[in-house]
């Protein structure tokens, strides 16, 4: 398992270095405006940059159809899938932690954390988990191009829905639906308290990743490379 | 002894060609060559055997297990040389070796270094800067350094100069001399099978047109070249192909003794070359 | 359509010297109409009958012979099988293939049949050029005296 992750690290070292350095710049970019942003925005931004690391590795592997080579090595297909999840968490999570820790060296960034640190970390974690859980099975099934098409498709679909809602005056309905979800989350938050809420979210993200991992293994076993 | 590789009635629609009803068996210590033109299904077959793609029907067993699902222990007994450039080519030869070594429990680094020397592969050169022949050698070195018992090579001779090809085929026959290791390779060049191959498989349009010991073809089969009266041979059991020639007909027999009676008068009997067999096999008089 | 190999070797020599194996020389021709396994069997047979390969000496294994001659294992196996059938060699499981103990009478017969074969060739050649039996005997006598 670790040899697969190590292989990805070695093969993608330049991609990792470039994307990783960009993530390192995140704290400084956010400090450019006069008004410091809320910490959650900062964490989400760093998180976004860091999730790009494993995604770009998968993209690279997919683009050069290196999977055929990997599959000829003494590893099972299950191993390959598992290594993508473990590697994804390891690389994105590890680098995110490192960048956030490095950011603390700058006093201005340290100040950001004075308010809402817990929620920000939870938000970052959720984004990381969601990205991994969605991107990996999607690329395994449809390839990297499939993922890009999927993202574009979702945007188009969103726009169509939005325009449709505007035209039919259903915008209020959407707004109400979104608002009711937010309210439900909010009231749940109040009921279980911050700790309980965090546990629920972490559990949810973990469950989603587990389901996604199971599904990916199933898909990959019969996929022609 | 158990066959290292068993392919039974495989079907697979993939790329442009569909494999239909392909079967083969490869015992330990032998070389099997799969020959056919582009688009005959060679690469599809190799990829099925390596487990890259899954058959639509039939079964494949490598060391007794389904190659698509087999575990590490079995997969480490397979060595492979793919026809497409492997994608990790920005790495140096030595680095690539270290990377692959990581996956094999019985990797022999001393042997790998020895092979690099023997093949005159520069360890510090990027894999992408190697010539086609060097690349095949690198693939071979990687496969041999982990004591593979089944070597699968996809068109290793394509694009190589004759000297290099001869060298490679000699190397293959040295590999199987231990009586344990077998080699399976595909090629567009029929004469690659002339010497060292024990078993020949001819593919055409996704179907096996011949599969068996190569010596049977060269020593037992016969071609009779003669006049129009040879058309009478068309229905004979031993006839495997018949084709109109300028003088009359060329007829391919799978049994020299059966061919002799047709050889009276001006007709001549010849031992076929592999090219002759491939061209004549399955052809009908009308063509 | 296909790339045909224009580089075709006319002969291939395998000089098979190892400490244990005596000198055994096989030269193969690709252009001969004689099947490769017969070429191998014929040359080894001649060396056994001619005494170059002595009784009890170890021959190259099927596999190393195939490797050295660059032919298929099936080919060398077939050649050895033929020699074995003729009683010229013995394969001892796990030990290797040896030149069989030759009965002197049997060896003599074999050699005689070799002489006969060559004479038959000479006779048919002589017929082609219209030599009479007397001319041929005379030629043979001269040759024998020359030695």
CATH number, domain at B101?
3.40.50.300
CA of B42 vs chain A CAs: smallest distance (Å): 16
Residues in chain B: 287
- Give the CB-side neighbour count of residue A5, counting CA atoms within 13 A: 15
Given this model, what pLDDT does residue C2 score? 28
Write down the residue that tokens 């190397």 correspond to. Answer: B171
Domain ranges of chain C: 11-99, 104-146
Q: Is the pLDDT of residue C3 over 50?
A: no
Do B148 and B239 sit in the same domain of this protein?
no
Do B134 and B193 sit in the same domain of this protein?
yes
Note whether C3 contacts B198, CB cutoff 8 Å. no
CA of A12 vs chain B CAs: smallest distance (Å): 10
Using the Cβ of C10 and the Cβ atoms of chain B, whether some distance falls under 8 Å is answered with no
Comparing CA positions, the residue from B258, B255, B252 lying closest to residue B277 is B252
Are the C-beta atoms of B116 and B95 separated by less than 8 Å?
Answer: no
Q: How far is CA B8 from CA B24, B26, B55, B83, in A?
A: 7, 12, 11, 24
Are the C-beta atoms of B242 and B222 separated by less than 8 Å?
Answer: no
Using the Cβ of A1 and the Cβ atoms of chain B, whether some distance falls under 8 Å is answered with no
Are the C-beta atoms of B22 and B157 separated by less than 8 Å?
Answer: no
Residues of B in contact with C78 (CB under 8 A): 215
Nearest to B173 among C1, C4, C66 (CB): C66
Give the Cα separation of B3 and A213 in Å (integer). 36
Query: Mutate which of A8, A12, A72 to test chain B, going by most B C-beta atoms within 10 A?
Result: A72
Give a yes or no: residue B286 inside a domain. Answer: no
Whether there are 3 or more C-beta pairs closer than 8 Å between A and B is yes
Given this model, what pLDDT does residue A85 score? 92
How would you classify residue B70: left for phi > 0, otherwise alpha for psi between -120 and 50, otherwise beta? beta
Using the Cβ of A6 and the Cβ atoms of chain B, whether some distance falls under 8 Å is answered with yes
Note whether B213 contacts C74, CB cutoff 8 Å. yes
Helix (H, G, I), strand (E, B) or coil at B220: helix
Whether there are 3 or more C-beta pairs closer than 8 Å between B and C is yes
Note whether B82 contacts A69, CB cutoff 8 Å. yes
Give the Cα separation of B150 and B181 in Å (integer). 6
Chains near C (3 or more Cβ pairs under 8 Å): B
Give a yes or no: residue B242 inside a domain. Answer: yes
Q: How far is CA A178 from CA A162, A181, B29, B106, in A?
A: 13, 5, 69, 58
A144 vs A47 pLDDT, higher one: A47
Note whether B177 contacts C64, CB cutoff 8 Å. yes
CA of B196 vs chain C CAs: smallest distance (Å): 4
The domain boundary residue, chosen from B214, B235, B261: B214
Give a yes or no: residue B174 inside a domain. Answer: yes
Do B16 and B107 sit in the same domain of this protein?
yes
Q: Is the pLDDT of residue C13 over 50?
A: no
Give the whole-number percent of chain C exceeding pLDDT 70.
84
CA Rg, chain C, in Å? 19
> What is the span of the domain harbouring residue B235?
221-280
Do B192 and B225 sit in the same domain of this protein?
no
Which chain A residue is nearest to residue B80, measuring alpha carbons?
A: A72
Give the Cα separation of A60 and A71 in Å (integer). 16
Do B128 and B16 sit in the same domain of this protein?
yes
Residues of A in contact with B102 (CB under 8 A): 3, 6-7
Give a yes or no: residue B26 inside a domain. Answer: yes
Give a yes or no: residue B285 inside a domain. Answer: no
Q: How confident is the model at residue A194 (pLDDT cuts 50, 70, 90)?
A: confident
Instruction: Give the mean pLDDT of chain A.
Output: 84
The domain boundary residue, chosen from B167, B183, B214: B214
CA angle A65, A68, A72 (to 5 degrees): 155
Using the Cβ of B106 and the Cβ atoms of chain A, whether some distance falls under 8 Å is answered with no
Give the whole-number percent of chain A exceeding pLDDT 90.
12
Do B207 and B228 sit in the same domain of this protein?
no
C44: part of which helix (H) or strand (E)?
Answer: helix C36-49
Residue A99 DSSP symbol: H
Q: Report residue A191 as tokens.
A: 């009921």
Give a yes or no: residue B153 inside a domain. Answer: yes
Residues of C in contact with B188 (CB under 8 A): 2-3
What is the arithmetic mean of pLDDT over C52-56?
82
Strands B182-187 and B150-153: parallel
C130 vs A108 pLDDT, higher one: C130
Q: Is the pLDDT of residue C69 over 80?
A: yes
Do B210 and B226 sit in the same domain of this protein?
no
Residues of B in contact with A73 (CB under 8 A): 75, 100, 103
User: What's the structural domain count of chain B?
Assistant: 2
Do B210 and B261 sit in the same domain of this protein?
no
Given this model, what pLDDT does residue C8 score? 29
Residues in Cβ contact with B9 at an 8 Å cutoff, skipping those fewer than 6 apart: B21, B22, B23, B57, B58, B59
Comparing CA positions, the residue from C71, C5, C1 lying closest to residue B157 is C5
Give a yes or no: residue B163 inside a domain. Answer: yes
Residues of A in contact with B142 (CB under 8 A): none
Sheet with B17-26, side-by-side order of all strands: B17-26, B5-14, B57-62
Nearest to B195 among C37, C70, C78 (CB): C70
Are the C-beta atoms of B202 and B276 separated by less than 8 Å?
Answer: no
Note whether C2 contacts B192, CB cutoff 8 Å. no
Do B249 and B199 sit in the same domain of this protein?
no
Using the Cβ of B282 and the Cβ atoms of chain A, whether some distance falls under 8 Å is answered with no
The tens place of each residue's pLDDT in chain B, 287 residues long, gives 588 999 999 999 887 788 899 999 999 999 999 998 888 889 899 999 998 888 998 999 999 888 888 888 888 999 998 877 665 667 888 888 888 898 998 899 999 999 999 888 888 888 888 888 888 888 889 889 998 999 999 988 887 888 888 888 888 988 898 888 999 999 988 888 888 899 999 998 889 988 999 888 888 888 888 888 877 777 778 888 888 888 788 888 888 888 888 877 778 888 888 888 888 887 776 54
Give the Cα separation of C91 and C76 in Å (integer). 13
Among positive and negative, which fits the CA dihedral B186, B188, B193, B195?
negative
Do B141 and B228 sit in the same domain of this protein?
no
Question: Using CA atoms in the order A119, A120, A125, A130, what is the torsion angle rounded to 10 degrees?
Answer: 90
Q: Report residue B272 as tokens.
A: 């076929």
Given this model, what pLDDT does residue A65 score? 62
Q: At what angle do helices B132-144 and B162-175 cross, to 10 degrees?
A: 10
DSSP alpha helix (H) spans, chain A = 2-11, 13-30, 39-63, 67-72, 77-88, 94-103, 107-112, 117-168, 171-221
Q: Report residue C79 as tokens.
A: 């050649």
Q: Which CATH architecture has domain C11-99?
A: Orthogonal Bundle (1.10)
Q: Give the residues across from B12 on adjacent strands.
A: B19
Given this model, what pLDDT does residue B285 score? 62
């Amino acid at each position: 398992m670790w040899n697969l992750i190590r292989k990805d690290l070695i093969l993608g070292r330049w991609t990792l270095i470039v994307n990783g350095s960009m993530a390192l710049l995140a704290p400084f970019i956010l400090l450019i405006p006069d008004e410091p942003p809320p910490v959650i925005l900062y964490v989400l931004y760093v998180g976004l940059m860091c999730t790009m690391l494993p995604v770009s590795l998968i993209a690279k592997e997919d683009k050069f159809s290196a999977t055929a080579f990997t599959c000829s090595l003494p590893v099972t297909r299950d191993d390959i899938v598992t290594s993508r999840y473990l590697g994804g968490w390891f690389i994105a999570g590890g680098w995110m932690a490192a960048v956030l820790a490095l950011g603390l060296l700058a006093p201005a960034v340290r100040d950001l954390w004075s308010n809402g640190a817990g929620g920000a970390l939870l938000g970052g974690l959720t984004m990381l988990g969601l990205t991994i859980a969605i991107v990996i099975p999607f690329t395994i099934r449809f390839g990297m191009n499939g993922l890009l098409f999927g993202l574009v498709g979702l945007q188009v679909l969103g726009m169509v829905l939005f325009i449709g809602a505007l035209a039919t005056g259903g915008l209020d309905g959407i707004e109400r639906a979104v608002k009711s979800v937010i309210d439900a989350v909010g009231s749940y938050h109040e009921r279980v308290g911050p700790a309980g809420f965090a546990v629920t979210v972490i559990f949810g993200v973990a469950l989603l990743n587990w389901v996604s991992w199971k599904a990916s293994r199933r898909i990959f076993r019969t996929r022609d490379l | 002894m158990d066959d290292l590789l068993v392919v039974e009635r495989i079907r697979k629609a993939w790329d442009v060609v569909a494999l239909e009803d392909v079967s083969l068996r490869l015992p330990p210590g032998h070389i099997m060559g799969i020959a056919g033109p582009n688009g005959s299904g060679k690469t599809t077959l190799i990829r099925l055997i390596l487990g890259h793609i899954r058959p639509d029907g039939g079964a494949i067993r490598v060391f007794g297990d389904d190659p698509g699902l087999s575990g590490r222990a079995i997969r480490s007994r397979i060595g492979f040389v793919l026809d497409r450039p492997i994608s990790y080519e920005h790495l140096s030869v030595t680095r690539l070796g270290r990377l692959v070594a990581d996956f094999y429990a019985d990797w022999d680094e001393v042997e790998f270094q020895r092979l690099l020397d023997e093949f005159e592969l520069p360890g510090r050169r990027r894999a992408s800067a190697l010539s086609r022949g060097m690349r095949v050698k690198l693939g071979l070195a990687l496969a041999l350094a982990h004591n593979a018992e089944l070597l699968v090579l996809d068109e290793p001779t394509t694009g190589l100069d004759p000297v290099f090809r001869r060298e490679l085929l000699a190397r293959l026959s040295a590999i199987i001399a231990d009586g344990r290791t077998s080699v399976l390779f595909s090629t567009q060049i029929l004469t690659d099978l002339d010497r060292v191959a024990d078993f020949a498989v001819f593919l055409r349009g996704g179907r096996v047109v011949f599969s068996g010991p190569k010596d049977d073809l060269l020593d037992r089969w016969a071609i009779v070249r003669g006049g129009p009266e040879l058309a009478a041979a068309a229905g004979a059991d031993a006839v495997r192909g018949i084709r109109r020639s300028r003088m009359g007909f060329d007829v391919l027999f799978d049994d020299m003794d059966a061919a002799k009676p047709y050889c009276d008068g001006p007709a001549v009997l010849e031992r076929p070359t592999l090219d002759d067999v491939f061209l004549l096999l399955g052809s009908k008089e009308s063509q | 359509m296909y790339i045909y190999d224009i580089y075709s070797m006319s002969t291939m020599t395998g000089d098979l010297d190892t400490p244990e194996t005596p000198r055994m020389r096989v030269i193969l021709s690709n252009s001969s109409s004689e099947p490769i396994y017969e070429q191998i069997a014929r040359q080894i047979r001649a060396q056994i009958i001619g005494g170059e390969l002595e009784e009890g000496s170890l021959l190259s294994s099927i596999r190393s012979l195939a490797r050295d001659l660059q032919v298929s294992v099936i080919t060398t196996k077939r050649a050895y099988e033929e020699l074995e059938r003729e009683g010229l060699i013995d394969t001892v499981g796990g030990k290797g293939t040896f030149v069989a103990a030759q009965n002197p009478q049997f060896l003599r017969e074999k050699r005689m049949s070799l002489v006969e074969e060559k004479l038959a060739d000479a006779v048919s050649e002589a017929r082609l050029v219209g030599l009479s039996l007397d001319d041929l005997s005379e030629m043979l006598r001269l040759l024998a005296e020359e030695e």
